[in-house]
A and B are shown apart, each in its own frame.
Chain A
């Protein structure tokens, strides 16, 4: 077997992907950008291969998506031979992405980095290697709770809520890719590899938009009553964006960025109610809190009279950033995505393929890689390091 022929941005970058669901999206990002990414799994198979949703023939659609563009090597890392082969594989890589698998296999990470001074080892954990919660278990919901995501999502009459699918773990996934590429750049320039640690908890806290702003600067924010903004449905922290119900569907409506222009539209339709009253006519949006609240109420009445599709298109034609709340079947038929040839086929191990999301970014010179046919797996139980490296073409 030879290294796959690719012209992606990361062509020739050798990556060993030992990530679990907490970081697998980062491995996917590197693989889809053209890196040669090897996933290592036990002979019994990666447990992530069982994750739903499944196809009618029992293939994991989840895995087809998140394990795209990888090659797979089967190793029994509980044996001495398997452990040695795993260490040799990592030593031949530019980047190793780990989430505890090396320690579990008994691979000496310090020795690995000493023996391979240019190696980048990205090490993901839930909470870090030290501290009171270092050993805590944090699947998606628990990570979202501790990381501040859940407290900010939901409404007063609902429990705090998690995101859909892998929304939570996409955050550490993105950071895994950044860590790998930044440290790789440093290693390319200096010959100096290194370990980069990251934990899910800190990554989530870094991606909460207004939550830390509220904590730190609430005394300066005209709308903040304390350090915490309680969850409040779809109403944005600024009070200026909310999902409203039109006659036949929901739409996200906002007075940003130009309330005066939106007011003109309301006046055009005679729907302004009392918004022309002098007390609402404040020159600036930021200082116009009473107007924001009243404006949103008036909008709600107005939106309730509308048919959602034509209303959405008219709002956008008038440059208002309204958003039609689309369920997944509508998204699947979205004309914009079709026109952009966005969807790509994801091959399934049992044969055939299924359509799924394509590239989030488009490189003019180094194309993003659509998921290829499932790649061969090295022979089961092949624990001879030289054979494994030969097998995947990393012996040279």
Chain B
């Protein structure tokens, strides 16, 4: 216990993580810990076939971990599991409440043998409260937490954020919880249990709307790309030449507007007095947006980006995954990178690097996701 990383090694070298997480939120948290040098042992219950380690989705979130397969319906497996928990610095799961208790590795029993353990439970709704038994995936949490209602276009049916945003944010919070608890253990010598509620993580992100509601009784609504609380226009995504190509332009102040006017060739409509102030532009934002769109519509999106940015106007192409693959800025750090060792089932796999560039302890190694039980003997 209490191992520290030797000089020059990765920042979390020596930290043992026993990982019972599945799907995205938990595996993303432990992936980051593994990237930073923690020894993450991922326990796949052989009795849970839905969580298949050879799927592309699994491979995305489980690099830099070792894999142990246990059939938790068997007593031998439970005994192994208990022994591992006794030696772990961190035990982490995102099951619904109670699953690990049934396996005999609930917090109270682990703590008895391993008082320094950091035990992080990342359930959907948290353990107390009338909705604690509710089952959730990220789209469920987005709906309940106000995110779906607030990301969209006014007067239209609900859209919401287009990917499992809250799983990633729960993963980031899970990693922060682990690291904070380890710092507390360094100071106090004691371990502890952390309960993380993915619903509470999600509800934080509509904080401005919630504070506004409590303070002013205003109920926020979806506002497309307009900023709900600040006056900025034009501020949106505008169509460009090509199939479904768009550029985002964000005029945050009058100086941006003056520069954008110049980039657009100072058309007569842009010189109208009402557009000279942010309030005037915002009051006429719809017509203004159409005029900006008329300008961008025939232009290449990257060309608009370059012309705006070189004039000091915030602008950027709405990049798809294919654009990210060709993104020269991401190439600076070789951010999207192939993994050297072929995967037994998928062949070539890839990694998006941990986006943290430690000057003294750089992360250079990305080991492929392991197949079911690949490291069982070793562990």
Contact = CB atoms under 8 A, between A and B. Distances in A.
Contact of B56 (A217, A321, A326): A217
B206 A141 contact: no
A342 B134 CA distance: 17
B153 A65 contact: no
B263 interface: no
A364 interface: yes
Nearest to A144: B248
Interface centre among B150, B250, B333 (most CB of A within 10 A): B250
Contacts of B278: none
A211 B318 contact: no
A363 B180 CA distance: 10
A276 to B, nearest CB: 23
B100 interface: no
B67 interface: no
B219 interface: yes
Contacts of A155: 159
B26 interface: no
A186 B206 contact: no
Contact of B314 (A55, A142, A212): A142
Interface string A142-163: 1111111011111100111111
A324 B149 CA distance: 10
Contacts of B332: 128, 130-131
Interface string B150-168: 1111001111111111011
A151 B220 CA distance: 24
Interface stretch (A10-18, A98-106, A288-296, A385-393): A10-18
A105 B129 CA distance: 49
Contacts of B135: 316, 319-321
A171 B355 CA distance: 11
B151 A184 contact: no
Given A139-B250, A171-B169, A327 B219 contact: yes
B250 A167 contact: no
B148 A364 contact: no
Contact of A364 (B146, B158, B194, B248): B194
Given A137-B312, A186-B5, A332-B214, A164 B24 contact: no
A207 B159 CA distance: 19
B5 A189 contact: yes
Interface stretch (B74-82, B222-230, B264-272, B280-288): B222-230
Interface in A164-210: 164-167, 170-171, 174-175, 177-179, 181-186, 188-192, 194-199, 201-203, 205-210
Contacts of B102: none
A335 to B, nearest CB: 6
B315 A363 contact: no
Given A151-B319, A165-B207, A185 B358 contact: no
B205 A165 contact: yes
A233 interface: yes
A311 interface: no
A45 interface: no
B176 A29 contact: yes
* Max chain A C-beta neighbours (<10 A), residue from B183, B252, B313: B183
A360 B207 CA distance: 12
Contacts of B136: 321, 323
Contact of B215 (A151, A160, A354): A354
A148 B176 contact: no
A302 interface: no
Interface in A1-24: 9-13
B356 A179 contact: yes
B151 A164 contact: yes
A241 interface: yes
Contact of A145 (B187, B317, B328): B317
A111 interface: no
Contacts of A366: 180-181, 184, 188, 192
B172 A171 contact: yes
Nearest to B38: A182
A358 B200 contact: yes
Interface in B84-98: none
Given A142-B314, A144-B248, A207-B165, A324 B229 contact: no
B212 A209 contact: no
Given A211-B324, A234-B159, A364-B193, A195 B359 contact: yes
B361 A147 contact: no
Contacts of B206: 164-165, 328, 331
A127 to B, nearest CB: 5
A207 B24 CA distance: 11
B309 A188 contact: no
Contacts of A337: 129, 200, 203
Given A12-B187, A325-B148, A185 B5 contact: yes
A327 B146 contact: yes
In the complex, the 8 A-B pairs of residues with the closest C-beta atoms, listed nearest first? A189-B4, A52-B229, A323-B143, A174-B172, A145-B248, A323-B140, A181-B179, A202-B355
18 contacts: A138-B316, A146-B316, A146-B317, A155-B159, A159-B238, A167-B165, A182-B11, A209-B167, A209-B168, A215-B324, A321-B134, A326-B143, A329-B213, A332-B214, A342-B200, A360-B197, A361-B195, A365-B188
